[in-house]
Chains A and B, each alone.
Chain A
Amino acid sequence: MELQQQQQQHIKLSEESLQKQTTTLNLGPTHPATHGVFQNIMEIDGERVLETVPTIGYIHRAFEKIAERRPFYQITTLTDRLNYCSSPINNMGWHMTVEKLLNINIPKRIQYLRVLIMELARIADHLVCNSVIAVDTGALTPFTYVFQAREHIYEIFEEICGSRLTTNIGRVGGFERNFSEASFTKLNKFLIDFPKTMTEFENLLNRNKIFVDRCIGAGPISAERALNYGITGPNLRATGVDYDVRVAQPYSSYEDFDFKIPVGTTGDVYDRFMVRNGEIWESLSIIRQALEKIQKIEKEFPEQKNIFYAQEADHFHLPPKEDVYTKMEALIYHFKIIMGEIDAPKGEVYHAVEGGNGELGFYLISDGGRTPYRLHFRRPCFIYYQAYPEMVEGGLLSDAVVTLSSLNVIAGELDA
């Protein structure tokens, strides 16, 4: 008896913890079902979630502080590591922010090439999210199918810029080099192959009884609450609000394209899944339209084919290496940019793009130096993840896991 008391004292549990009937569960930070480094301390009663407290910041890397000492062209690599599932969108968003500050007009062909890249990235992002919902409901097969398609997208990126995941694609004013013939060949092959894979993926899941039963009604949120929380992107559209930055505030000539915004009604896991699927088809159609427009421009103005950055961006666009060795002007610009002798104009600019997860905003304050005075990333993940407790409380623990994967929370974007 005495020994038992001693042991109990040794454990040092609080008074109420001995009496309480519920269980405290640590979901994360390295749990395989969380797909990233974040923790949820859950209070569960049997299988019901009573309360959940998210803890974030495990991979905080102080990007906003680092950006205050970096010239503009070096910040692109920081944006890569926000939402690393669709880094080209982040890269382009950053370039467009700087171009807005510098007042640079980009030729149409480059704008369309950017649209093409961004939509490919969106497909890759949504594929990861949707196939992972299937994995969390117990179906591994669709995941393996679509990851091959994602691999093809990454091969296209590799052909264009040399890297796959953290792409660092493009420069302020355009691209670092022109697109090779091989990249268009790969893209055309992707456009033929991918619809088959996608149809197969949809056939496996969209009307699958087990999947549908698991997803409908899990983690719902109303449109009103979603707007109050500041949710954007596919997660907002799943609630029925048709807000899309590409349509509301078109950038990079999105106004030239004809596409639909898929919306849901209840904002549950199934709606989010269906909205993302719908967006993948729309992205495909945008890519096709972009290719057509590019070919039309190249036919009408053959000299445009060799231009891959805006001439007026000379002072900020790092020239291609072979030009640095052979051309006087390129060498001068290269030297001036690298040595930080070119100052940006003063100004404050907010620019938003439709990222994989929602409105990705860049709030840039320049005081006329070579680096930003302050740079703030409006990260969609960070803002909508705080609605997670409201979505899962009162539901089942297994629903909480699917809700987390359907929200597509990316740790890199969450923590910046």
Chain B
Amino acid sequence: MTNEIIKQKLTEKFGEQLTGWEEQFGLLTFSAAAELNLKVIQFLYDDETLRFRFLTDLTGVHYPDRKGEEICVVYHLHNLIDNIRLRFKVYVPSEKPDVYTLTQRFSGANWMERETYDFFGVNFIGHPNLIRILNVDEMDYFPMRKEYEMEDPTRRDKDNEMFGR
């Protein structure tokens, strides 16, 4: 099992719908439209040679500069039998961050999706209990988005050029 075989299998099935092929540090990465996420992961799960049946990680990233696809949801999947990992990304706009939930496939996705909702506001359609998990329930914003800076925005003595980002 190599990255080429996985790529070939996926291209046979989904064709041009999968984009952004990368192989940084040996980890196969690709992305698809948000509404395809369940289909791709189900295919990776069911296929007899691919067998990606372990969800290692699920998280979000905010790219404010990418207009129309600001929020990225990243899945790390693992084939424990052949011992190979892959990374799968979907991009959604921050005004309407709707992604289908993975909880039907992986029970472990439950809290990971709640965490991603908590920090990035990604709306996982079909999630059984999509409420905040680490932050307080009263919070009315999504703190990991880049518009919330770490430093007090009223301070003028610390500018971003000299101090961090």
Does B11 make an interface contact (CB < 8 A)? no
- Residues 372-402 of A contacting B (Cβ, < 8 Å): 373-374, 376, 378, 382-383, 385-387
CB contacts (< 8 Å) of A248 on chain B: these are: 80, 83
Does A194 make an interface contact (CB < 8 A)? no
- Residues 350-386 of A contacting B (Cβ, < 8 Å): 350, 352, 359, 361, 363, 365, 369-371, 373-374, 376, 378, 382-383, 385-386
Does A18 make an interface contact (CB < 8 A)? no
Indicate if the CB atoms of B134 and A229 lie closer than 8 Å. no
The number of A-B residue pairs with CB atoms under 8 Å apart is: 99
Q: Which of the candidate stretches A59-67, A139-147, A175-183 sits at the interface with the other chain?
A: A59-67
CB contacts (< 8 Å) of B151 on chain A: these are: 69
Q: Which of A60, A65, A348, A378 contacts B29 (CB 8 A)?
A: A348
Closest to A70 in B: B164
Q: Which of A56, A347, A369, A386 contacts B25 (CB 8 A)?
A: A347
Indicate if the CB atoms of A349 and B57 lie closer than 8 Å. no
The distance from the CB of A123 to the nearest CB of chain B, in whole angstroms, is 26
Cα(A62)–Cα(B142), bound, Å: 12
Q: Which of A350, A369, A378, A383 contacts B27 (CB 8 A)?
A: A350
A57 and B80 contact, Cβ closer than 8 Å, known pairs A66-B150, A230-B106, A386-B110: no
Cα(A168)–Cα(B83), bound, Å: 31
Indicate if the CB atoms of B25 and A382 lie closer than 8 Å. no
Indicate if the CB atoms of A227 and B53 lie closer than 8 Å. yes
Does B112 make an interface contact (CB < 8 A)? yes
Indicate if the CB atoms of A374 and B61 lie closer than 8 Å. yes
A361 and B57 contact, Cβ closer than 8 Å, known pairs A68-B165, A350-B76, A383-B112: yes
Does A415 make an interface contact (CB < 8 A)? yes
- Most chain B beta carbons < 10 A, residue from A65, A225, A385: A65
The distance from the CB of A88 to the nearest CB of chain B, in whole angstroms, is 23
Does A340 make an interface contact (CB < 8 A)? yes
Q: Which of B110, B115, B164 contacts A69 (CB 8 A)?
A: B164
Q: Which of B108, B133, B148, B165 contacts A371 (CB 8 A)?
A: B165
Interface residues in A, total, Cβ within 8 A: 46
Closest to B87 in A: A350
Binary contact track B123-165/A, C-beta < 8 Å → 1, others 0: 0000000001111100000011000101100000000000111
Does B107 make an interface contact (CB < 8 A)? yes
The distance from the CB of A409 to the nearest CB of chain B, in whole angstroms, is 13
Cα(A73)–Cα(B36), bound, Å: 39
User: Could you say which interface size class chain B belongs to?
Assistant: 35 or more
Indicate if the CB atoms of A363 and B25 lie closer than 8 Å. no
Cα(A38)–Cα(B115), bound, Å: 16
Cα(A171)–Cα(B137), bound, Å: 38
CB contacts (< 8 Å) of B148 on chain A: these are: 65
Q: Which of A228, A363, A365, A374 contacts B108 (CB 8 A)?
A: A228
Does B30 make an interface contact (CB < 8 A)? no
- Residues 7-56 of B contacting A (Cβ, < 8 Å): 24-25, 27, 29, 53-56
Binary contact track A222-246/B, C-beta < 8 Å → 1, others 0: 0001011111000000000101000
The distance from the CB of B59 to the nearest CB of chain A, in whole angstroms, is 4
Binary contact track B64-98/A, C-beta < 8 Å → 1, others 0: 00000000001010001001010100000000000
Q: Which of A69, A227, A228 contacts B165 (CB 8 A)?
A: A69
CB contacts (< 8 Å) of A340 on chain B: these are: 164
12 contacts between A and B (CB under 8 A): A57-B133, A64-B144, A65-B143, A68-B150, A69-B150, A352-B56, A359-B56, A361-B56, A378-B76, A382-B111, A383-B108, A386-B108
